[in-house]
């Protein structure tokens, strides 16, 4: 019995009369419609018994018809391409569903996000705080599909203003009383990250006793913006979600769009996409290595890694005309060709990158002080990684082989195009995650070379003809440098997507951070946070706010001294 049959049989038995129908879409994507009675059991059965993963949970607002909640389960790490999507329709007047967080902890953030973005309510959620929206916004934004004007009318009121009106505003400031509290708040502006993020560390001396993360400060309403622009323009918006993994974002987005349109990407375009994505992975991992070096105070490593990274950026600039933000991918293919005369130039740069990378690996691998800072720090065991749904190098460093490139091949990653191996390390600590990335660098250089060789033999079209979307919904995935990237696009047949749902890798890994921080010191906090390679512009396409400041816990950040505390 194949896995697909087993899953279907199990679900049929489990759901009984609530099994309202199924459909196969895409390549081995099973969509099952059911009622809201059995969501918890399904989640428990799939994640615990069948060893599936809950990737994300999307809620799509259909106005008066109600809200579709889609649970995206993936089995691709067991059987290639195989996904199961369980759909539940909840009525618009009483949009309630039981929470599956107890059964599958991965769902926690997704459920919180969907509660923010749509009117759906997950009853019995253990932590139903607003994830993205300011706590001052009692209603949701996307339910504004009913009355958009009203929602937009509220936009000129910032959380600050609203809080002042409600009389809850406490100027964020440093007071002696708060300094006594053993609550250390990292962020939103903290040198640890160039982006804004916000951690609450409860400390005893230097030891972290408890931790809480509030990602945010980065919300740009991108999922809403997607709904107001055509598929081809959306590619450029996807490019701007994250500045580090922009090719991966567009690739994932276009994987979904091309599936919707049932467009086959030409072979040469596939290789070019893969080349760009792999170059980007090299750039991202080198960037990460530098930043991680900086986080443990190794400025020289930062400089050396970033010196090497410049060669990759040069190669990317040669191809696309821009160091970052390449705008290469279009619906159905790529925009510019890679002419033959620049191929040797790229090969030359790759050669430099390879030798420099080996040097960097030598330096880090045997450096006594660096190893002391990385070994046995931020341990994430395999079971926790699985139950919390870690992705990317974080999971691979915890001895769990998941990689979208291998499990759900897209672009030219399939075995018919390229040969390579997934890097897995069993160390489970920050050093293992470092090692995964370092080894992936070499794999990526090799992949780039294979792509360049393939470009020499392939020719033909760069872009396939674009059609109208004729599927209802599609899932697009890609392996970003940080892990699995997930797009779910719902189409209504027009040239504008009806709804776009995105789950970025950092989103998942960030949710595990509080768990990983516990038991280490403040000095370790930066490298633990850094070891998952958090990318908050990815994570916070949507917003988060710190809770209404109560009297006791106030922000104690670098960024906090109110004007009235100034003295000239």
Pick out residues in 86-145 that bind other proteins (CB under 8 A). 134, 141
Pairing mode, strands 29-34 and 83-90: parallel
Query: Which positions from 361 through 380 interact with other proteins, judged by CB under 8 A?
Result: 362-370, 372-373
CA distance 331 to 234: 9
Mark the segment that binds other proteins (CB under 8 A) among 47-55, 426-434, 507-515, 559-567. 559-567
CB of 181 to other proteins, least distance (A): 9
Binds other proteins by CB under 8 A, chosen from 145, 202, 233, 515: 233
Binds other proteins by CB under 8 A, chosen from 31, 71, 75, 217: 217
CB of 195 to other proteins, least distance (A): 5
Mark the segment that binds other proteins (CB under 8 A) among 6-14, 26-34, 72-80, 235-243. 235-243
Query: Which positions from 170 through 199 interact with other proteins, judged by CB under 8 A?
Result: 172-176, 179, 184, 188-192, 194-196
What angle, rounded to 10 degrees, do the helices at 267-295 and 343-366 form? 30
Mark the segment that binds other proteins (CB under 8 A) among 41-49, 104-112, 310-318, 468-476. 310-318
Binds other proteins by CB under 8 A, chosen from 335, 449, 515, 518: 335
- Count residues contacting other proteins (CB under 8 A)? 114
Q: Which residue lies nearer to other proteins by CB, 346 or 455?
A: 346
Binds other proteins by CB under 8 A, chosen from 522, 548, 549, 553: 522
CB of 559 to other proteins, least distance (A): 5
Q: Which residue lies nearer to other proteins by CB, 89 or 349?
A: 349
Cα–Cα distance list, 398 to 371, 389, 435, 442 (Å): 18, 12, 11, 20
CB of 111 to other proteins, least distance (A): 21
CA distance 220 to 415: 38
Of the candidates 1, 113, 132, 129, the residue with the CA atom closest to the CA atom of residue 59: 113
Classified as helix, coil or strand, 91 is coil
Binding mask 153-172 for other proteins (x = CB under 8 A): -xx--xxx-----------x
Cα–Cα distance list, 475 to 82, 298, 390, 453, 467 (Å): 12, 41, 19, 30, 18
Q: Which residue lies nearer to other proteins by CB, 34 or 218?
A: 218
Q: Which residue lies nearer to other proteins by CB, 389 or 530?
A: 530
Per-residue DSSP letter, 399: T
Check residue 202 for interaction with other proteins (CB under 8 A). no
Phi-psi region of 63 (alpha: psi -120 to 50; beta: other; left: phi over 0): left
N residues, the chain? 568
Per-residue DSSP letter, 387: H
Binds other proteins by CB under 8 A, chosen from 318, 343, 422, 443: 318
Binding mask 536-555 for other proteins (x = CB under 8 A): -x--x-xxxx----------
Query: Which positions from 264 through 303 interact with other proteins, judged by CB under 8 A?
Result: 287, 290, 293-303
Instruction: Report DSSP letters for 223-292, one per residue.
Output: HHHHTTS-HHHHHHHHHTT-SSSHHHHHHHHHHHHHHHHT-PPPHHHHHHHHHHHHHHHHHHHHHHHHHH
Classified as helix, coil or strand, 93 is coil
CA distance 119 to 100: 17
Q: Which residue lies nearer to other proteins by CB, 419 or 550?
A: 550
């Amino acid at each position: 019995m194949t896995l697909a049959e087993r899953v279907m049989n199990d679900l049929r038995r489990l759901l009984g009369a609530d099994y309202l129908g199924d459909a196969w879409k895409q390549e081995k994507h099973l969509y099952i419609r059911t009622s809201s009675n059995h969501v918890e059991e399904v989640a428990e059965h799939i994640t615990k018994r069948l060893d599936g993963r809950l990737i994300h949970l999307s809620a799509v607002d259909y106005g008066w018809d109600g809200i579709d909640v889609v649970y995206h389960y993936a089995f691709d790490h067991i059987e290639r391409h195989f996904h199961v999507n369980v759909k539940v329709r909840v009525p618009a007047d009483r949009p309630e569903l039981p929470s599956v967080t107890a059964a599958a902890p991965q769902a926690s953030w997704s459920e919180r996000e969907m509660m923010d973005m749509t009117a759906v309510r997950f009853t019995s959620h253990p932590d139903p705080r607003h994830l993205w929206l300011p706590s001052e916004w009692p209603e949701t934004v996307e339910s504004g599909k009913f009355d958009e004007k009203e929602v937009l009318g509220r936009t000129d009121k910032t959380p600050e203003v609203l809080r002042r009106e409600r009389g809850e505003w406490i100027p964020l400031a440093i007071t002696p009383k708060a300094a006594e509290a053993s609550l250390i708040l990292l962020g939103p502006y903290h040198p640890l990250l160039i982006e804004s993020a916000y951690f609450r560390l409860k400390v005893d001396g230097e030891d972290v006793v408890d931790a809480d993360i509030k990602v945010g400060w980065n919300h740009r309403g991108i999922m809403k913006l997607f709904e107001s622009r055509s598929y081809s323009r959306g590619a450029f918006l996807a490019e701007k979600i994250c500045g580090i993994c922009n090719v991966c974002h567009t690739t994932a987005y276009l994987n979904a769009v091309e599936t919707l349109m049932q467009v086959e990407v030409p072979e040469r375009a596939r290789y070019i996409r893969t080349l760009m994505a792999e170059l980007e992975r090299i750039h991202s991992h080198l960037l990460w290595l530098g930043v991680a070096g900086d986080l443990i105070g190794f400025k020289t490593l930062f400089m050396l890694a970033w010196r090497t990274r410049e060669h990759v950026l040069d190669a990317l600039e040669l191809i696309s005309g821009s160091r970052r933000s390449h705008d290469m991918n279009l619906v159905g293919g790529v925009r510019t060709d890679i002419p033959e005369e620049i191929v040797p130039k790229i090969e030359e740069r790759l050669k430099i990158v390879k030798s420099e990378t080996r040097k960097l690996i030598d330096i880090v691998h045997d450096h006594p002080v660096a190893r002391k800072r990385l070994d046995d720090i931020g341990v994430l065991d395999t079971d926790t990684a699985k139950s919390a749904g870690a992705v990317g190098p974080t999971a691979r460093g915890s001895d769990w082989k998941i990689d979208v490139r291998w499990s759900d091949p897209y672009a030219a990653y399939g075995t018919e195009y390229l040969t390579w191996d997934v890097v897995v390390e069993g160390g489970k600590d920050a050093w293992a995650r470092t090692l995964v990335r370092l080894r992936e660098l070499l794999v990526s250089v090799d992949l780039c070379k294979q792509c360049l060789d393939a470009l020499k033999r392939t020719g033909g079209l760069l872009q396939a003809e674009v059609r109208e979307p004729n599927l209802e919904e599609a899932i697009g995935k890609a392996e970003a440098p940080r892990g699995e990237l997930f797009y779910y696009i719902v189409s209504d047949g027009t040239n504008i997507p009806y709804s776009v749902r995105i789950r970025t890798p950092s989103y998942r890994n960030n949710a595990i951070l509080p768990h990983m921080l516990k038991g280490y010191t403040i000095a370790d906090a930066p490298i633990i946070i850094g070891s998952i390679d958090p990318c908050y512009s990815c994570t916070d396409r949507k917003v988060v706010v710190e809770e209404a400041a109560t009297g006791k816990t106030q922000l104690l950040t670098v960024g906090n001294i109110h004007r009235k505390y100034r003295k000239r």
